[in-house]
Amino acid sequence: MSAKQARGFNLFIAAAVLVLDRVTKWIVAARLSQHDGITVIPHFFRIVHVENPGAAFGLFAESSSHFRLSLLILFSLLALAIVGVLLWRNSHSVSATGAALSLILGGALGNLWDRVIAGHVTDFLEFHVGSYYWPSFNVADSAIVVGALLLVGDILFAKAPAQQKSHVN
């Protein structure tokens, strides 16, 4: 596969994440009032409508700083620039690194879109295990976390170039 095709594939992944994120957030916002929810699996999984003014998983949501939104947008733009450069440099072929960066790019774009347009991010996936509760999140957050885990896995388990060459012979 050529570098151009690999870049196209990576952009397709990022665009698919962005579209899925936008569509799911739109459906939730259109069908549920804020803080309303639908139990999918009792005592385990609910779909809720939460508007999160903070960062991932509600971090900084209670901050009274007037600069919170501006700083979150600035941080998102900086992260997008870094991920974009890394993705461009690693798009010479289809790889786990490219897929991971594409997931992160699509997720970051989805949450940035919300922050710029609405001043908050719509979250809707809520999990409970017994008395433990995981803060609500969305498709974009999921893509970012999966992408980050893929990157970590790729870093930890990547073979050194010398090891790759020895397996070819």
Q: What is the pLDDT of residue 2?
A: 83
Q: What is the pLDDT of residue 115?
A: 92
Q: What is the pLDDT of residue 108?
A: 95
Question: What is the token pair recorded at 119?
Answer: 């001043």
CA distance 33 to 144: 26
CA distance 150 to 164: 19
Among 156, 124, 139, residue whose Cα is nearest residue 51 = 124
Given a cut of 70, the residues of the chain with pLDDT beneath it are: 54-66, 160-169
Q: What is the pLDDT of residue 158?
A: 78
DSSP string, 95-110: -HHHHHHHHHHHHHHH
Give yes or no: 21 in active site: no
Give yes or no: 154 in active site: no
Proportion of the chain above pLDDT 90, given as a percent: 62
Residue 57 DSSP class = G
Q: What is the pLDDT of residue 165?
A: 56
Q: What is the pLDDT of residue 66?
A: 66
Q: What is the pLDDT of residue 136?
A: 92
Annotated catalytic residue, options 21, 36, 123, 154: 123
Q: What is the pLDDT of residue 56?
A: 55
CA distance 80 to 92: 19
| Count of all residues that appear for the chain in the document | 169
- Per the CB < 8 A criterion, the answer to whether 62 and 135 are in contact is no
- Computed over its alpha carbons, how large is the radius of gyration of the chain? 18
Q: What is the pLDDT of residue 53?
A: 76
- Per the CB < 8 A criterion, the answer to whether 52 and 35 are in contact is no
Strand partners, 123: 50
Which residues in the chain belong to E strands, given as ranges?
Answer: 37-41, 45-52, 121-129, 132-137
Annotated catalytic residue, options 21, 36, 114, 141: 141
- Per the CB < 8 A criterion, the answer to whether 120 and 52 are in contact is yes
pLDDT per position as a tens digit, 4-32: 888 999 999 999 999 999 999 999 999 99
CA distance 142 to 18: 12
Q: What is the pLDDT of residue 65?
A: 57
